[in-house]
Structure 1
Amino acid sequence: MADQIQLSLLKQGHKVWNQWREDHPEVKPDLVGANLSRAELYHTNLEEADLQDADLQDANLFKANLFRANLNNAKLNGAKLDLAYLDEITAVKAQFRNASLKDATLYGGDLRESLLWGTNLYNTVLSFAKLQGSTLWDANLTEASLNDTDLTGAHLQSANFNKADLSNARLIKAGMERCTLVKTKLDGAVLEDCNVYGISAWDLDLSKLKQQNLVINSDPEAPLIVDNLEMAQFIYLILNNKKLKDVIDTITSKAVLILGRFTEKRKAVLDAIREELRKQNLTPILFDFNKPASKDLTGTVETLARLSKFIIADVTNPMSIQHELAYITKELTTTPILPIKLKGSKTYTMLKNLKRYPWFMPIYEYIDQESLIAELSEVIRPANEKADSYRQES
Structure 2
Amino acid sequence: MADARQLEILKSGVQAWNEWREENPRVKIDLYGADLSRAHLMGADFRRAILWGAHLRGADLKGADFREANLNEAYLGEADLTGANLSYAALSLTNFDVAHLEEANLEGANLWGSYLDRARLVGTKFAKAILVNTHMADLDLSQAEGLEEVVHQAPSAISTNTLQFSKGKIPEKFLRGCGLSDWEVESAKLYRDGLSAKEVDDILYRVRNLRVGQAVQINPLFISYSHADGAFVDAMEEKLNEKGIRFWRDIHDASAGRLEKVIDRAMRQNPTVLLVLSKDSVQSDWVEHEARSARELEKELKRDVLCFAKLVEGLDLFYKE
Give the TM-score band, short-chain normalised.
Answer: 0.5 to 0.7
Structure with higher Rg: it is 1
Quote the residue 1:5 is aligned against: 5
- Which amino acid counterpart does residue 174 of structure 1 have in structure 2? G
Taking structure 1 as reference, are residues 25 and 192 closer, same or farther at Cα in structure 2, changes over 3 Å only? Answer: farther
Select the residue among 233, 236, 239 that pairs with 2:204. 233
Shift of residue 167, structure 1, vs aligned partner: 7.7
- Which amino acid counterpart does residue 66 of structure 1 have in structure 2? F
Quote the residue 1:309 is aligned against: none
Q: How does 1:188-203 map to 2 (within 5 A)?
A: 200-202=190-192
- Which amino acid counterpart does residue 113 of structure 1 have in structure 2? G
Shift of residue 153, structure 1, vs aligned partner: 1.7
Quote the residue 1:373 is aligned against: none
- Which amino acid counterpart does residue 42 of structure 1 have in structure 2? M
- Which amino acid counterpart does residue 127 of structure 2 have in structure 1? S
Unmatched 5+ residue regions in structure 2? 194-199, 209-321
Shift of residue 195, structure 1, vs aligned partner: 7.1
Unmatched 5+ residue regions in structure 1? 176-190, 204-228, 238-394
Shift of residue 170, structure 1, vs aligned partner: 6.5
- Which amino acid counterpart does residue 78 of structure 2 have in structure 1? G
Secondary structure of 1:200's aligned partner: helix
Offset from partner CA, 1:180-203 (integer Å, 9 cap, x none): xxxxxxxxxxx6585776653549
Offset from partner CA, 1:128-173 (integer Å, 9 cap, x none): 1112211110112232111311344222212244696748546345
Q: How does 1:33-182 map to 2 (within 5 A)?
A: 33-145=33-145, 146-151=147-152, 152-157=154-159, 158-159=161-162, 160-161=165-166, 166=171, 169=174, 171-172=176-177, 174=179
- Which amino acid counterpart does residue 37 of structure 1 have in structure 2? S
- Which amino acid counterpart does residue 190 of structure 2 have in structure 1? S
Shift of residue 74, structure 1, vs aligned partner: 0.5
Taking structure 1 as reference, are residues 165 and 137 closer, same or farther at Cα in structure 2, changes over 3 Å only? Answer: closer
Quote the residue 1:263 is aligned against: none
Q: How does 1:305-316 map to 2 (within 5 A)?
A: none
Taking structure 1 as reference, are residues 89 and 174 closer, same or farther at Cα in structure 2, changes over 3 Å only? Answer: same
Tell me the distance in 1 between the aligned counterparts of 2:167 and 2:178.
21
Q: Superposition RMSD on alpha carbons, in Å? A: 2.9
Asked if structure 1 preserves the Cα contact closer than 8 Å seen for 2:168 and 2:192, the reply is no
How many equivalent residue pairs?
198
Taking structure 1 as reference, are residues 230 and 97 closer, same or farther at Cα in structure 2, changes over 3 Å only? Answer: farther
Asked if structure 1 preserves the Cα contact closer than 8 Å seen for 2:148 and 2:174, the reply is yes
- Which amino acid counterpart does residue 149 of structure 1 have in structure 2? V
Taking structure 1 as reference, are residues 6 and 150 closer, same or farther at Cα in structure 2, changes over 3 Å only? Answer: same
Asked if structure 2 preserves the Cα contact closer than 8 Å seen for 1:118 and 1:138, the reply is yes
TM-score normalised according to structure 2 size: 0.55
- Which amino acid counterpart does residue 114 of structure 1 have in structure 2? S
Shift of residue 230, structure 1, vs aligned partner: 8.4
Dislocated runs of 4+, deviation >3 Å: 160-170, 172-175, 191-203, 229-237
- Which amino acid counterpart does residue 89 of structure 2 have in structure 1? I
Asked if structure 1 preserves the Cα contact closer than 8 Å seen for 2:167 and 2:192, the reply is no
Secondary structure of 1:147's aligned partner: helix
Tell me the distance in 2 between the aligned counterparts of 1:72 and 1:142.
26
TM-score normalised according to structure 1 size: 0.46
Asked if structure 2 preserves the Cα contact closer than 8 Å seen for 1:144 and 1:161, the reply is no
Offset from partner CA, 1:260-284 (integer Å, 9 cap, x none): xxxxxxxxxxxxxxxxxxxxxxxxx
- Which amino acid counterpart does residue 16 of structure 2 have in structure 1? V
Offset from partner CA, 1:217-246 (integer Å, 9 cap, x none): xxxxxxxxxxxx986534679xxxxxxxxx
- Which amino acid counterpart does residue 155 of structure 2 have in structure 1? G
Quote the residue 1:183 is aligned against: none
Q: Name whichever structure is richer in helix by fraction.
A: 2
Offset from partner CA, 1:371-393 (integer Å, 9 cap, x none): xxxxxxxxxxxxxxxxxxxxxxx
Taking structure 1 as reference, are residues 123 and 23 closer, same or farther at Cα in structure 2, changes over 3 Å only? Answer: same
Query: How many percent of aligned residue pairs carry the same amino acid?
Result: 30
- Which amino acid counterpart does residue 148 of structure 2 have in structure 1? N
| Bigger RCO (CA 8 Å, 6+ sep) | 2
